[in-house]
A = this chain, B = another copy of it.
Amino acid sequence: MSDDIKTRLLDAAQLLVQTHGHNGYSYRDLATQVGIRTASIHYHFPAKTDLAVALVRRYYEFVSTAMKKIEGEHTSLAKRLEGVAAIYSGCLSANHRICVASALAAEYSSLPREVQEELNRLITDSQGWIAHFFEEGKKRGEILPARDPAALARLWYAALQGALVVARATDTTVLADVTNILQQLTIQG
């Protein structure tokens, strides 16, 4: 299939973005890993920016799909948040990656505008999905009535992103620790 090599290029690029950053890999790295020449990559993605945009869009779909699956499979807030945390612990367990969102956001000012815009969408909507879980949880009395669902969502999202980043330099189980204590602090009962 013609899509196959495109997928393999995106897979390789994603791993490199999540470990080295957008400015930390080249078409040469990709070529070596996928087994073609750098010039051939330009056939699939004319410019590196095109690749980056495609990468963020694909990642957006991945997160979006995962969130919908969580919503369908679990009704309790605690279980849903567990599912959200699992998305990000999945990154960590595969080669000490961080989320594509924070990998790119760290280099924000150096990114092409198109990539910045896709990134804004990814981050805004990711927080939005989590906020949605908190709003439903509030209606079900699963958090203290005084708490703001949107603020809790921002906290969870920031903490999960930060935990992955920090995990690299401390090797401890930061993400698991953060998830546990967040559950204790936010869930009512």
Interface residue ranges, A against B (CB under 8 Å): 19-21, 23-25, 96, 98, 101-103, 105-110, 116, 119-120, 122-124, 127, 147-148, 150-152, 154-155, 157-163, 165-166, 168-170, 172, 174, 177-178, 180-182, 184-186
Contact = CB atoms under 8 A, between A and B. Distances in A.
Nearest to A120: B169
What copy number does this chain have within its complex?
2
A154 to B, nearest CB: 5
A172 B124 CA distance: 10
A106 B169 contact: no
16 contacts: A20-B23, A21-B24, A105-B165, A105-B166, A106-B165, A116-B169, A120-B169, A122-B169, A123-B170, A124-B170, A147-B184, A155-B178, A157-B166, A158-B159, A159-B178, A165-B165
B169 A158 contact: no
